[in-house]
Amino acid sequence: MSGLLRRREVVSELLAPRGDALVIAGLGAPAWDITNAGDHELNFPLWGAMGGAAMIGLGLALAQPKKKVLVFTGDGEMLMGLGALATIAVQAPRNLYIVVLDNERYGETGMQETHTAHGVDLAGMARAAGFAQTLVVRTESGVSRLKKAIYAGEGTLFAQIKVDPQKLPLVLPPRDGCLLKNRFRAAVLGPQAAQQ
Amino acid sequence: MKKNADPAWPDEVHALLQDADVRQVAIVPDAGHARLIQLCEKDKSMRVVRLTTEEEGVALLAGAWLGGEKGVLLMQSSGVGNCINMLTLPIACQFPLPMLVTMRGDHGEFNPAQIPMGNATQAVLEAMGVMVKRADSAADVPEMVSSTLRLAFNTYRPVALLIGQRVSGAKDFRKLTRSGPL
Ligand SMILES: Cc1ncc(C[n+]2csc(CCOP(=O)(O)OP(=O)(O)O)c2C)c(N)n1
Ligand SMILES: [Mg+2]
């Protein structure tokens, strides 16, 4: 055992008190992780659009300011859209929480090392961009603190969780984008979703 | 230079965005959009989101629609190149996405670096499955914007309106050089 946090346990713990929180997941393992915690109509897991997860979270957070928006994504996915950190920090929505599951690898494509394996400090980049809160999580107690920061506190928050580069069986969400979008909108907006 | 620039079109377009209940205006600036951006920034019902790259806007507006808000993406034609893979999102999930694209590398271009992307803009969008419309005179812009918004929001798809360089006029680099450094 590496002593590193295990991603599926971390994601399940962070989602346990989700209530009406809206959840986006970056493509690949983070999408499998949120699905493993329980497929949900308020989940929008991505099957592509690498680099876009945090920005989808921003558009959603601005549109639904009373709901918490959680974005789970990978270090590789976040690195592809680093400019989003600047864009989000300028908008600074209080209901947006970005959680990077940092295994220091491109897990989905064969565990090649990412930049975070070579010293790139993602949380530091978010801090420099102007995020109100940034944290690096390496322990169980860190996960508990993060959970409290999400559900009892305000964003804009960026958390980088160092996780074990485990290879895990896939847990697939539906992959029809229209189905995912329509059930999400119906759950958020009610019958009005079909009238917009 | 041909006098075709009608200063009223950005005001009319802004009114159309208001009528359509557009709340999020995602931008990487282009000179041709300067007045429209100003009008949107002054409008309390709209939030202008400045992007670092245009593809952020494609993702932003997918999120906006998930949350029940409408948005529009303003950019110049070179920004279309930055969006290509992210367009997967509105195409695969049928998200409405009106894109108002001011053309460079088009009518009377001076800058060679604008040509490759400007010349490929329409073909590249169409190759991705995006519907493309054009407005080549200022008088056409409001009607074409209205049609672009309706197509995108009523039929759930990305639609790009290419606003030709004849509308805002080609940038005159020689004149700018004479009047001092850029
Ligand atoms: C634009 C683009 N480039 C490359 C890929 C291939 N790809 C799919 S998932 C992935 C790695 C994702 O790594 P990360 O976000 O860190 O997730 P992990 O699996 O490590 O949790 C890559 C490179 C892609 N889908 N899209
Ligand atoms: Mg990774």
**Tens digit of each residue's pLDDT (9 = 90 or more) over A102-147:** 999 999 999 999 999 999 999 999 999 999 999 999 999 999 999 9
Chain B residue with Cα closest to A180: B93
Query: Which of the residues A62, A64, A195 would you substitute to probe the B interface, choosing the one with the greatest number of B C-beta atoms within 10 Å?
Result: A62
The domains found in chain A, sorted by start residue, are: 7-195 (3.40.50.970)
Percent of chain A with pLDDT over 70: 99
Task: Give the pLDDT band (50/70/90) at residue B6.
Answer: low
Higher pLDDT, B5 or A82: A82
Residue B1 binned pLDDT confidence (cut-offs 50, 70, 90): very low
Q: Which strands make up the sheet holding A43-45, listed edge to edge?
A: A43-45, A22-25, A69-74, A96-102, A157-162, A133-137
Helices first, then strands: H and E counts in chain A:
8, 8
What confidence category does residue B177 fall into, taking pLDDT thresholds of 50, 70 and 90? confident
Per-residue pLDDT, averaged over A48-54, amounts to 98
Ligand 1: atom nearest CA of A48 is 25
Let me know the angle formed at the C-alpha of B155 by B149 and B161, rounded to the nearest 5 degrees: 35
A95 phi, psi to nearest 5 deg:
-110, 20
Give the residue from chain A lying closest to B66, CA to CA: A185
Cα(B136)–Cα(B119) distance, integer angstroms: 15
H/E stretch holding A137 reads strand A133-137
Please tell me the pTM assigned to this model.
0.96
Asked if residues A36 and A175 have their Cβ atoms less than 8 Å apart, the reply is no
Range from B43-52, B85-94, B165-174 carrying the lowest mean pLDDT? B165-174
Please provide the DSSP assignment of B3-16 as one string: ----TTHHHHHHHH
pLDDT, average across residues A65-89: 98
Domains of chain B, residue spans? 9-111+120-135+142-157
User: Quick one: pLDDT at residue A79?
Assistant: 98
Angle at B87 between CA A63 and CA B114, to 5 degrees: 110
A188 contacts B60? CB cut-off 8 A:
no
Q: What is the pLDDT of residue A2?
A: 76
- Strands A112-113 and A105-106: what pairing? antiparallel
pLDDT value at position A1?
Answer: 57
Given CATH 3.40.50.970, say whether it is the number of domain B9-111+120-135+142-157.
Answer: yes
User: Tokens standing for A178?
Assistant: 């229209």
pLDDT in tens, B30-81: 999 999 999 999 999 999 999 999 999 999 999 999 999 999 999 999 999 9
Complex ipTM over 0.95: yes
What phi and psi values does residue B149 have, to the nearest 5 degrees? -65, -45
Choose, out of B66, B87, B154, the residue to mutate when testing the contact with A (most A CBs < 10 Å). Answer: B66
Interior angle at CA A139, CA A135 and CA A142, nearest 5:
45
CA A73, A36, A48, A90 torsion: positive or negative?
negative
Among the atoms of ligand 1, which is closest to the Cα of residue A106? Answer: 13
